[in-house]
Amino acid sequence: SVLIEFDNVQKVYPNGTVGLKDINLKIHEGEFVAVVGLSGAGKSTLLRTINRMHDITGGDLKIDGASITGYKGKELRNLRRSVGMIFQDFNLVNRSSVRRNVLSGRVGYYSTWKSSLGLFSAEDKQRAVDALKRVNMLEKLYTRVDELSGGQQQRVAIARALMQEPKIMLADEPIASLDPLTTTAVMDDLLGLNQELGITVLANLHSVSLAMKYADRIIGLRGGQLVYDKPIAEVSADD
Ligand code: ADP
Ligand code: ADP
């Protein structure tokens, strides 16, 4: 079934830069979609419209059939919980432990005073253990993030995103600052979430060969427009 629907989506930034233009796109539940294109093509903008980090300026964007463009308050919070995100530079708190970083994925679920004291429920502590197991990082539970390699940090970031129990995972250049070996570990983790948990994945990737290895479908952007969209079986080397 269709999970995410872009209906003639436009995004013009306040300074007049066109981020997205006339995007029509349907993404189905359970897909692993690679988004490719040169720097500045609009890949990051596309991802960030899905969790409303960026608001679109025209058209409509639906998730599960409901337009998200008017969401406020509780609806917006629920949307952001259902969409996990990881970034090129990980966005972890470097001086804190892996455990604290992962549990911070649940902070928004607690009253301010409880989360400021680090009072997490037994259930959430178990969630953190499960998430870290899934990315093979449980042995680093008490390690400080700044003692980890880049690839390990990205896997911790994936575990943190999993704490929201997301339906959708956005990966914005997840491996751009990693070496080839750790790239494989991170991409394998994303594939695991997709295949084992049924999470729909959208990953911005520079590498078409990685996209072909992991994704079900490749979409290409250029100048904010959708210029390519094919299931992996139809992608040819000449494209
Ligand atoms: P990509 O992820 O493919 O590198 P982006 O989505 O980051 O592309 O950027 C698309 C276009 O929008 C680029 O021209 C970029 O400079 C511009 N852009 C991105 N973010 C902003 C912003 N916050 N304000 C203005 N322009 C932006
Ligand atoms: P990337 O292409 O790796 O996503 P960028 O260097 O294009 O990263 O952008 C870094 C940050 O700056 C992003 O948050 C983006 O939204 C913002 N940004 C990008 N281009 C512009 C711009 N022209 N004006 C203002 N902000 C921008």
The burial of 113, by beta-carbon neighbours within 10 Å (0-12 exposed, 13-18 middle, 19 or more buried), is given as: exposed
Instruction: Scan for tokens 């390690």, then name that residue.
Output: 143
What is the rounded distance in angstroms from the CA atom of residue 139 to the CA atom of residue 99? 11
User: What are the tens digits of pLDDT across the range 28-62?
Assistant: 999 999 999 999 999 999 999 999 999 999 999 99
Mean pLDDT, the chain, whole residue set? 95
ipTM of the complex: 0.77
Q: Please report the pLDDT score of residue 177 as a whole number.
A: 87
For residues 181 and 24, the model is more confident at 24
Q: Please report the pLDDT score of residue 59 as a whole number.
A: 98
**pLDDT above 90: percentage of residues in the chain:** 88
The answer to whether residue 118 scores a pLDDT higher than 90 is no
Alpha carbon of 234 to those of 202, 209, 221, 228, 238: distances in Å?
Answer: 19, 14, 18, 12, 11
The answer to whether residue 156 scores a pLDDT higher than 80 is yes
- The number of the ligand nearest the C-alpha atom of 176 reads 2
8-state DSSP, 70: T
What is the rounded distance in angstroms from the CA atom of residue 175 to the CA atom of residue 88? 6
pTM of the predicted structure, to 2 decimals: 0.90
Task: Determine the distance separating the centroid of ligand 2 and the alpha carbon of 29, expressed in angstroms.
Answer: 29
8-state DSSP, 144: B
What is the rounded distance in angstroms from the CA atom of residue 12 to the CA atom of residue 141? 42
The answer to whether residue 114 scores a pLDDT higher than 80 is no
Q: Residue 236: which pLDDT band, with cuts at 50, 70 and 90? A: confident
- Averaged over 59-84, what is the pLDDT? 96
Task: Please give the distance of CA 33 from its chain centroid, rounded to a whole number.
Answer: 11
Largest CA distance in the chain: 57
- Measured from CB, residues less than 6 Å from any atom of ligand 2 are 17, 39, 44, 88, 173
Locate the ligand 2 atom nearest the alpha carbon of residue 15 and give its number. 24
- Averaged over 21-31, what is the pLDDT? 98
Contact criterion met (CB below 8 Å) for 167 and 193 = no
The burial of 177, by beta-carbon neighbours within 10 Å (0-12 exposed, 13-18 middle, 19 or more buried), is given as: middle
Nearest protein Cα to ligand 1, atom 16: 40
Amino acid at 95: R
The answer to whether residue 144 scores a pLDDT higher than 90 is yes
Would you say how long the chain is, in residues?
Answer: 239
Nearest protein Cα to ligand 1, atom 22: 13
Q: Please report the pLDDT score of residue 180 as a whole number.
A: 85
